[in-house]
Amino acid sequence: MKGKESRKGIAGQSSVIAAKEIEGTQWTKYKGEKGGHGFSAEDANALNDKLRGKKVDKVGTNNELNGADRIVNGIEIQTKYYNTAKGSIEAGFDNVTGEYRYKGQVLEVPSDQYDEALNIMKDKIREGKVPGITDPEKAIDIVKKGDVTYAQARNIAKAGNVDSLWFDIKNQSVVCGCAFGISFVISYANGIWHGLTQKQAFKAAFCNALKTGAVVLIVGVSTQQLLRTSFGRSFAAFTTKISRQIVTKIYSTKLGKDLIEKMASAILKKALYGAAAKNTISKLLRSNIVTGTVTAVVFTIPDAYHAIISKRISWAQFSKNFAITVTGVAGGIGGTAAGATIGTLICPGIGTAIGSVIGGIVGGVGSAIATKKIADLITPDDAEVMVESMNKRIAELAYEYMLTDDELSENIIPTIEQTVNNKWLQEMYAYCGSRSNVAKQYEFVDKYFEKEYESVLQKRSQIALPKKSHLKWFSFKTKISLFIIYIKMSILSIFRKPAIA
């Protein structure tokens, strides 16, 4: 169970990183039917540059007039995605003067419009519309082929399609990799501490890390998809109000003001003060609430299915799991915030990053484990109840079939060890329908293991009863022996000295 609690804690910590990646996009601007896909195109092309290992600075979020959308390895780029190549190129020219208005910047256009757009730019140069450039062939230095098409950009701005899902998967891959690494280290160390060999610990840690990474990826992608829907945007608007009130309250103190400005500066890696710093932290907190909620839902869905549909767990077990999930995720988020706060006070930047990771792991895993221990005091797990019932029935069967300790340990116990796991125990619960139905629990155990007891009896050597004549002779000898003993005891009693009064 500790693996599950660890996974929930790490997922809580990772949801903070996922929130940061989400805030790195311009998802709030995707909604607009006119121009919304332009922002998704900026994000998609910038993400591809990052994945190629290029240094990307998304400076366009400051809305500077005629400023670049991003700077990639020192090159300023302006992204224009219109439904035609002519529209994409014309968007780069001033409506009054007709001249190119992004001097020194490269114009990025949809990949499917590139060839036509290049020819249009050449015509613009011939017409003298590009100041400082007279050679039409220089158009290749001005027009850049985007990584996505116009249609793909439109799809990315919407939920529920291949293009937007693929973009979200790539955007959350960093978070997934981080969660995988953290989970692997914790699981591997835990395996070694519990006596596993390096090979066994590696295999167990790798499988556990894959599960954690998959969950974190699902959470990140689900959150980004949700925020493209009307419900998601409404929920985000609600959490925005809450986060702004929290940040404003903290900012009202001297310590809080310094902390928020330092954290905002460390996160965006540039000096931020006042409203800009407050806005940065508010947005991050808003996304944390959303990702935290999605994380809890993702972990709860399987338990809800088992409780409602397959009937493999009880509602008591569902309640316990839900409490552990919520506290684990909340602890991961809270621990990350606390760790980042302490790290920022010590050393903004590096301290913020290290503190958030350590704080998130300790807070998330610790909260989940602590909650489970408290919940165990209230009610045991379904698995514990099923195991206890199984053990009682195994002992009863051993008595009924008169098995020796060696027969039990050599034949029955190995079969039990190979058969019994969490899935089997859930099937046992589903079969009996409740924790209290002992008769059904015994029936389920009999269905799986009684044949093993019968098999043991079949392996025993056959015992032949003695012949009737032999039995008569043995009976006669026994009677004679008993008669002789009686005579001896009678003679001895005659000569025995009387006891002294």
According to the per-residue pLDDT averaged within each range, which of 33-37, 94-98, 453-457 is highest? 94-98
pLDDT tens digits, 300-348: 777 777 777 777 777 677 666 666 666 656 555 555 555 545 554 455 5
pLDDT at 355: 46
DSSP state of 406: H
Percentage of the chain lying above the pLDDT 90 cut: 23
pLDDT at 78: 95
According to the per-residue pLDDT averaged within each range, which of 5-14, 35-44, 281-290, 323-332 is highest? 35-44
137 to each of 87, 122, 142, 344, how far by Cα in Å?
A: 21, 7, 10, 51
Least-confidence region, from 136-150, 156-170, 284-298: 284-298
pLDDT tier, 164 (very low <50, low <70, confident <90, very high otherwise): very high
Strands (E), 146-194: none
63 to each of 60, 92, 268, how far by Cα in Å?
A: 6, 16, 16
Least-confidence region, from 226-230, 242-246, 356-360: 356-360
The angle at the Cα of 451, spanning 447 to 456, to the nearest 5 degrees, equals: 150
- The answer, yes or no, to whether residue 372 has pLDDT greater than 60, is no
- The answer, yes or no, to whether residue 121 has pLDDT greater than 90, is yes
Q: Report the greatest alpha carbon distance in the chain.
A: 148
- The answer, yes or no, to whether residue 266 has pLDDT greater than 60, is yes
pLDDT, averaged across the chain: 79
pLDDT tens digits, 60-95: 766 677 889 999 999 999 999 999 999 999 999 999
Q: Residues 114-133: what's their mean pLDDT? A: 95
Q: Residues 229-235: what's their mean pLDDT? A: 88
Q: Where is pLDDT greater, at 155 or 18?
A: 155
> Residue 342: which residues within 8 A CB-CB, separation 6 or more?
351, 355, 359
- The answer, yes or no, to whether residue 398 has pLDDT greater than 60, is yes
Q: Residues 364-383: what's their mean pLDDT? A: 52
pLDDT at 335: 52
Q: Residues 235-256: what's their mean pLDDT? A: 85
